[in-house]
């Protein structure tokens, strides 16, 4: 079995207008910059995919990565916990102009909704947000004397992730704190595409070290010397215009 993809263009080829796309990373840690930029480039070349719903903890920083997607005008809605950053212009401008929708989700609830989707659990109860504005309209229940809010799973059509080592079958390891949401998103998306910093043969990753097993992964593409969002942002790089 070989899930390697020819190049970045092929990796983002199946993403269509209106899809829900999960993007791994927390701030710049784990952000799959090259996959995102390949998608932005495709949009700028062809006008598609547009009107995407994007799931990420944040809503971009500076003018690269997710911020570049938003700048390009291909994101219709963000589902995230914290749409602020050192340089949140891209999202802020579009949000205040009414050009992008926002579903604000507490961070742990966001993680668990994604986890639940990958695990086949349609809904669950959490104490988070009980009695707050973010629980309005959601069912609540009492268990052992405490109040909980019902939250639903969050699925996606595609997940775009970054991993450190990946073998041709799709087994993955991550670097330091860069895994964050990615193992959850890998399971929650119908199609999971991963840029790996080093592509290896099956067997090269010790099975005891695999963090995301291959069953959750559909395609891997090697991007050696991957760029880091935080570093690009600090250099003032802009991917769009």
Which residues in this chain contact other proteins in the complex, by CB under 8 A? Answer: 26-30, 57, 81-86, 88, 91-92, 95-96, 102, 104-112, 114-115, 126-134, 147, 174-184, 211, 228-231
At its nearest, how many Å lie between other proteins and the CB of residue 182? 7
Cα separation of 8 and 5, whole Å?
8
Residues 6 or more apart whose Cβ sits within 8 Å of residue 110 = 55, 57, 79, 80, 81, 154, 181
At its nearest, how many Å lie between other proteins and the CB of residue 81? 5
Cα separation of 155 and 64, whole Å?
25
Judged by CB, which is closer to other proteins: 123, or 203? Answer: 123
At its nearest, how many Å lie between other proteins and the CB of residue 149? 10
Helix ranges (DSSP H) in the chain:
8-11, 33-46, 66-72, 89-96, 107-119, 182-188, 229-234
**SS3 assignment, position 87:** coil
Does the bond joining 49 to the residue before it have cis omega, within 30 degrees of 0? yes
Judged by CB, which is closer to other proteins: 19, or 178? Answer: 178
Supply the DSSP string of 97-140, one letter for each residue: TT-SEEEE--HHHHHHHHHHHHHT--EEEESTTTTSGGGTTS-E
At its nearest, how many Å lie between other proteins and the CB of residue 86? 7
At its nearest, how many Å lie between other proteins and the CB of residue 48? 28
Cα separation of 55 and 157, whole Å?
11
At its nearest, how many Å lie between other proteins and the CB of residue 40? 21
Judged by CB, which is closer to other proteins: 45, or 176? Answer: 176
Cα separation of 160 and 166, whole Å?
14
Judged by CB, which is closer to other proteins: 4, or 126? Answer: 126
Judged by CB, which is closer to other proteins: 123, or 177? Answer: 177
Judged by CB, which is closer to other proteins: 15, or 68? Answer: 68
At its nearest, how many Å lie between other proteins and the CB of residue 172? 12
Query: 20 pairs with which residues across the strands?
Result: 53
Cα separation of 199 and 240, whole Å?
29
Residue 9 tokens read as 């263009």
Judged by CB, which is closer to other proteins: 20, or 180? Answer: 180
């Amino acid at each position: 079995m070989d899930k390697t993809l020819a190049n970045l263009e092929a990796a983002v080829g199946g993403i269509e207008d209106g899809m829900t796309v999960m993007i791994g990373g927390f701030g710049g840690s784990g952000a799959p910059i090259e996959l995102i930029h390949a998608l932005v480039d495709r949009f700028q070349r062809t006008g598609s995919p547009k009107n995407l719903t994007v799931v990420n903890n944040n809503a971009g920083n500076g003018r690269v990565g997710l911020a570049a997607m938003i700048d390009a005008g291909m994101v219709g809605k963000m589902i995230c916990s914290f749409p602020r950053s050192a340089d949140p212009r891209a999202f802020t401008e579009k949000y205040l102009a009414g050009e992008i929708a926002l579903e604000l989700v507490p961070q742990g609830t966001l993680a668990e909704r994604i986890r639940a989707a990958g695990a086949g659990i349609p809904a669950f109860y959490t104490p988070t947000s009980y009695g707050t504005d973010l629980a309005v309209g959601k069912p609540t229940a009492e268990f052992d004397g405490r109040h909980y809010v019902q939250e639903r799973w969050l699925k996606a059509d595609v997940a775009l992730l970054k991993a450190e080592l990946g073998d041709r079958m799709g087994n993955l390891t991550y670097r330091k704190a860069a895994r964050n949401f990615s193992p959850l998103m890998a399971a929650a998306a119908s199609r999971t595409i991963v840029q790996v910093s080093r592509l290896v043969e099956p067997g090269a990753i010790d099975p005891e070290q695999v963090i995301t097993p291959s069953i959750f992964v559909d395609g891997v593409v090697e991007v050696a010397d991957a760029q880091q969002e935080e570093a690009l942002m600090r250099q003032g790089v802009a991917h769009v215009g």
